[in-house]
Amino acid sequence: MKHRFVILFVLLALVVAACTPTAPAPTAEKGGPRKEIGPGEGRVDIIAWAGYIERGETDPNFDWVTQFEKDTGCKVHVKVAATSDEMVALMNEGGFDLVTASGDASLRLISGGRVQEINIDLIPSWKTIDERLQNAPWHTVNGKHYGVPYQWGSNVLMYNTKVFGNQPPDSWNVVFEEMILPDGKSNKGRIQAFDGPIYIADAALYLMYHRPELGIKDPYELTRDQFNVVLDLLRQQRTLVGRYWHDAFIQIDDFKNEGVVASSSWPFQVNLLKAEGQPIASVIPKEGATGWADTTMMHIDAPHPNCAYRWLEWSLNPKLQGDLAAWFGSVPAVPAACKGNPLLGENGCEINGFNNFDKIHFWRTPVAQCDQGECVPYHEWVTNYIAVIGGR
């Protein structure tokens, strides 16, 4: 009887043990930072600007994907997006792990609950990031980090050197005002403008310089009256624009084959055209320039979070940062990348604008409440710019 009691007691203990849940591994609450990095899932899906994730297919010298895949077993899949609005839309759809978001998208993604807080303790290279970027307001909210800085730079005025000769443009007026260019022909139909609502800030910046009586202090904070004047300038520009560009490679083709001679652009297009021997150069005009500081952000429901965290760390290695800066014409988020990179060159960071940080009006999402009181919010920038492009 005693033996039967012992057996029953043991069996009962086993049943209780089987039914008692074991303590789960530490996981983050939804939206909160992960506690640890587990085994890789075999892939990572990234939404990125053109030229940001290269595996040597365009130029074998520029490849920062192949080694990552070998080291981690995480296959990189890239969806190229042409505008910040497209990036936001794709992140809203879901199914992606990471996005290289500019400042006019990052806060929308944070406030919309589309991205998760990043645990910087899981990213050993965080301490190597430029201190000007570590706590930047476009990815840091209430002391929480929602991404890892990637690259930054300015929008430039790209122009055809055969057309401008010894008179390179020093003002954005060549794309906003009708005029005869140095080759004796009008600029009408030979210029482009960016196909994105954030371009309204470029027109506002132009008016800040040329019409100070408007009182514009920040191109992303416009009162109703200021906004209406900016729209008038954009409607005037509409009569000059041959195409509104958003695809970098289509713009490259337009400069080569379609007679486009001046436009806002990114250093990426300038570099590729110059590498092909095209008569192309760029300047930052006297009015200044808008710019972008891009952050790699992680989707709230990232399907491959462990591979995503591995990419976040990998994205900060100095060789990748320097190679990307050389390829895109941008500035590394890691200052150490500025030294010893044969592709970037000894003075590459200075050439790309490392010392211009305080002069750039970085993209950010316009909101209704601003330093001037009431400002025009971004959703109105979207509807009005669509109307401008449509000739209304």
Q: Where are the domains of the chain?
A: 43-153+292-362, 155-288+365-389
* Helical (H) or strand (E) element with 236: helix 224-238
For 173-198, the pLDDT digits (tens) are: 999 999 999 999 999 999 999 999 99
pLDDT at residue 30, as a whole number: 61
The count of other CB atoms within 10 Å of the CB of residue 377 is 14
Of 68-77, 302-311, 325-334, 357-366, the least confident: 357-366
- pLDDT bracket for residue 26 (50, 70, 90): very low
Phi-psi category of 98—alpha, beta or left, where left has phi over 0 and alpha has psi -120 to 50?
Answer: beta
Predicted TM-score (pTM) of the model is 0.83
**Tens-digit pLDDT profile for residues 201-257:** 999 999 999 999 999 999 999 999 999 999 999 999 999 999 999 999 999 999 999
Measure the CA angle with vertex 166, ends 165 and 171; round to 5°: 90
pLDDT at 372: 83
Q: Is 27 a residue whose pLDDT tops 80?
A: no
Q: For residues 106 and 136, is the Cβ–Cβ distance under 8 A?
A: no
The Cα–Cα gap between 16 and 38 comes to: 30
**Rounded average pLDDT over 68-87:** 97
pLDDT at 3 over 50: no
Q: What does the pLDDT read at residue 371?
A: 85
Q: Is residue 1 very low, low, confident or very high in pLDDT (cuts 50, 70, 90)?
A: very low
pLDDT in tens, 142-157: 999 999 999 999 999 9
> What pLDDT is stored for residue 29 in this prediction?
57
- CATH class name, domain 155-288+365-389: alpha beta
Residue among 101, 92, 201, 189 at smallest CA distance from 151: 101
Q: Alpha-carbon distance 192 to 175, whole Å?
A: 7
The pLDDT assigned to 380 comes to 97
The CATH number given to 43-153+292-362 is 3.40.190.10
Mean confidence (pLDDT) of the chain: 91
State how beta strands 241-245 and 373-374 pair: unpaired
Above 60 in pLDDT, residue 18? no
pLDDT at 391: 84
Percent of the chain residues past pLDDT 90, beyond the cut: 88
Top pLDDT among 7 and 303 is at: 303
Q: Using an 8 Å Cβ cutoff, are 333 and 129 in contact? A: yes
CA distance 129 to 75: 25
Go through the chain and tell me how many residues it has. 392
Burial 45-55 (b: 16+ CB within 10 A, else e): bbbbbbbbbbb
> According to the model, what pLDDT value does residue 253 have?
98
The answer to whether the CB of 329 falls within 8 A of the CB of 356 is: no
Q: Is residue 24 very low, low, confident or very high in pLDDT (cuts 50, 70, 90)?
A: very low
Which pair of structure tokens corresponds to residue 92? 């809203």
Check residue 278 and give its pLDDT: 98
pLDDT of 31: 60
Distances (CA, A) of 351 to 47, 153, 222, 279, 346: 28, 11, 32, 19, 10
309 pLDDT more than 50 = yes
User: Average pLDDT for residues 20-49, to the nearest whole number?
Assistant: 74
Tell whether the model's pLDDT for residue 358 goes beyond 90. no
Q: What is the DSSP code (8-state) at residue 34?
A: P
